[in-house]
């Protein structure tokens, strides 16, 4: 019996699968056991054709493959190459047990790329389960960015056989772990960023308060809601925040690439955070993930390390809005089904946009609101206090005026964000301000005497909850970072209080 390793998904994480084989005397047959999907069972024909079309003889024996652990459901075409190699090297003095082998076989014996290999191998690498692997040669450009793994690219079944027979003489394929983007380094960690701004804040005229709130939100990754009349620029500003977000570590870039693959996109490996715009008619399963047999990732999970944007916020179903409270608070989400329970990270910046009333004209000086008080209250009551308590910044947008002018460009705003990011990292802070724990708040959110008095007065006057007090401190920390102040001053607290929900 010989064995080689491969992998499959269980939820969003990869699980190692031992591919074992036996070739025994008996009536010729080819069987695969171990809860294999249709894609795996169909590999029998691909393996047979690949062997016969490359002048290999197909052994007239009873061939059995076992995919262990047997209780784990397996799927994917990445098992083809490992099965073919086990057949060909069954009687060779070659140790395959330390190798991971991935690849789909063409009928001519070529080894084909599988787009799902990248998130699969990245998950194994994050769990420290893989050190070397044989992969399709055309996948190397993506896979070689994964650190601490030696990749050996092969174009054909023949090349894979030669590689394993001459293991002592081979070297890993050329790797490329660096990203082609500007970066700066702090305490040995590189932070990458981009200087391209497809959507620029220079296009936004007026709305200085909203732009200031967007800048603070980007600095500290603070959840934000824009409220204003139709056409005042809510979605316009929301779509531009993505381009001024803080730089990314190499791990974050790789994780974003993994999410892009899971979302059916080609990974870009650029330090640009994802933005998932969700429509208000979306079902709970599409937003949070799910599935009757196998839990799949939803919009919330795809927004990890990026932005989750809900336009027309009050029109979302009550169940979706209330379910959003957990990932907004804990930065992770859990999916429970009869057949599986999955937990995955969901650390995102939430942006909401809403009208002030159903007709949208409540705050407009030139149009008359057609809504009754009952309709307005019913509209706003769709957002519960526990949900709104998880939002750091609430912005009421101004009316659009003919004299409004452009002010800051995205490039200028991004420079301020980068400067604030460097300032926070140099004081030893690892998390964004919005994600600071209670202990980290005590350590990093030092208040001046005047700031303490101002905050105490606000607590008494507005009856702030414990969570609200912490959020004011976190927002004030981001404002102080913009001023490069180590101590939070009175004006920082006052500005943070100005963005509280009224």
- Give the helix/strand (H/E) hosting 22: strand 13-24
Residue 213 has pLDDT above 80, yes or no: yes
Under the banding of pLDDT at 50, 70 and 90, the label for residue 336 is confident
Tokens standing for residue 414:
């991004």
Answer yes or no: are the C-beta atoms of 470 and 329 closer than 8 Å. Answer: no
Domain segments of the chain: what residues? 2-169, 189-418, 436-502
Residue 481 has pLDDT above 60, yes or no: yes
pLDDT per residue as tens digits for the range 150-193:
999 999 999 999 999 887 778 888 656 568 889 999 999 999 99
Residue range 189-418, CATH number: 3.40.50.300
Least confident range of 22-36, 75-89, 255-269, 331-345: 331-345
Residue range 2-169, CATH number: 3.30.230.10
| Burial environment of residue 446 by CB neighbours within 10 A (0 to 12, 13 to 18, 19 or more) | middle
Residue range 436-502, CATH number: 1.10.8.60
Same fold: 189-418 with 436-502: no
Beta bridge partners of 310: 278, 352
Phi, psi of 371 (to 5 degrees): -95, 145
Cβ partners under 8 Å of residue 280, min gap 6: 310, 311, 312, 313, 315, 316
Residues 233 and 223: their CA atoms lie apart, in Å, by 18
pLDDT per residue as tens digits for the range 97-135:
899 999 999 999 999 988 889 999 999 998 999 999 999
Quickly count: other Cβ atoms within 10 Å of residue 266's Cβ.
9
| β-strands 332-336, 341-345 pairing | antiparallel
pLDDT per residue as tens digits for the range 53-102:
888 888 889 999 999 999 888 999 999 999 999 999 988 888 888 999 99
Q: Given this model, what pLDDT does residue 175 score?
A: 59
Q: Given this model, what pLDDT does residue 458 score?
A: 95
pTM of the model: 0.89
Residues 458 and 452: their CA atoms lie apart, in Å, by 10
User: What are the C-alpha distances in Å from 429 to residues 107, 365, 422, 432, 434?
Assistant: 54, 45, 10, 8, 12
pLDDT per residue as tens digits for the range 349-393:
999 999 999 999 998 888 899 999 999 999 999 999 999 999 999
Q: Given this model, what pLDDT does residue 61 score?
A: 92
Cβ partners under 8 Å of residue 434, min gap 6: 220, 221, 222, 223, 349, 392, 474, 478
DSSP secondary structure letter of residue 56: P
The pLDDT > 90 percentage for the chain reads 74
């Amino acid at each position: 019996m010989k064995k080689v390793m491969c992998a499959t998904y269980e939820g969003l994480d990869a699980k190692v699968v031992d591919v074992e084989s036996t070739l025994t005397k008996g009536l010729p047959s080819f069987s695969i056991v171990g809860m294999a999907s249709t894609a795996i069972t169909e590999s029998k024909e691909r393996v047979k054709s690949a062997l016969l079309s490359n002048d290999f003889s197909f052994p007239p024996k009873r061939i059995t493959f076992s995919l262990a652990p047997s209780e784990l459901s397996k799927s994917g075409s990445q098992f083809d190459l490992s099965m073919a190699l086990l057949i060909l090297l069954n009687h060779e003095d070659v140790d395959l047990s330390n190798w991971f082998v991935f690849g789909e076989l063409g009928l001519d014996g070529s080894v084909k790329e599988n787009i799902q290999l990248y998130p699969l191998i990245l998950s194994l690498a994050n769990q420290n389960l893989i050190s070397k692997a044989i992969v399709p040669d055309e996948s190397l450009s993506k896979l070689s960015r994964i650190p601490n793994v030696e990749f050996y690219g092969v174009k054909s079944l023949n090349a894979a056989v030669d590689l394993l027979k001459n293991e002592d003489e081979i070297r890993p394929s050329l790797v490329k772990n660096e990203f082609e983007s500007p970066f700066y380094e702090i305490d040995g960690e590189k932070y990458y960023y981009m200087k391209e701004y497809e959507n620029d804040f220079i296009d936004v005229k007026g709305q200085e308060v909203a732009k200031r709130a967007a800048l603070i939100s980007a600095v500290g990754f603070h959840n934000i809601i824009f409220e204003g009349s139709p056409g005042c620029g809510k979605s316009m500003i929301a779509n531009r925040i993505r381009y001024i977000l803080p730089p990314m570590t190499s791990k974050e870039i790789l994780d974003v690439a993994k999410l892009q693959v899971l979302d059916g996109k080609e990974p870009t490996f650029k330090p640009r955070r994802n933005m998932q715009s969700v429509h208000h008619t979306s079902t709970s399963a599409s937003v949070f993930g799910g599935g009757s047999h196998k839990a799949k990732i939803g919009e919330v999970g795809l927004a990890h390390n990026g932005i989750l944007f809900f336009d027309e916020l009050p029109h979302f179903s009550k169940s979706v809005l209330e379910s959003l409270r957990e990932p907004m608070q804990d930065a992770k989400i859990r999916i429970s089904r009869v057949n599986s329970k999955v937990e995955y990270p969901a650390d995102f910046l939430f942006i909401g946009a809403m009208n002030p009333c159903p007709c949208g004209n409540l705050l407009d000086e030139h149009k008359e609101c057609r809504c009754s008080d009952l309709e307005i209250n019913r509209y706003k009551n769709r957002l519960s206090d526990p949900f709104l308590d998880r939002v750091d910044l609430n912005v009421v947008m101004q009316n659009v005026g003919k004299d409004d002018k452009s002010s800051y460009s995205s490039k200028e705003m991004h420079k301020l964000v980068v400067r604030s990011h460097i300032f926070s990292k140099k004081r030893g802070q690892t998390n964004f301000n919005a994600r600071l724990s209670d202990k980290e708040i005590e350590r990093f959110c030092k208040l001046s005497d005047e700031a303490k008095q101002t905050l105490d007065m606000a607590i008494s006057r507005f009856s702030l909850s414990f969570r609200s007090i912490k959020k004011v401190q976190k927002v004030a920390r981001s404002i102080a970072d913009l001023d490069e102040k180590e101590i939070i001053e009175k004006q920082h607290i006052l500005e943070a209080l100005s963005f509280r929900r009224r």
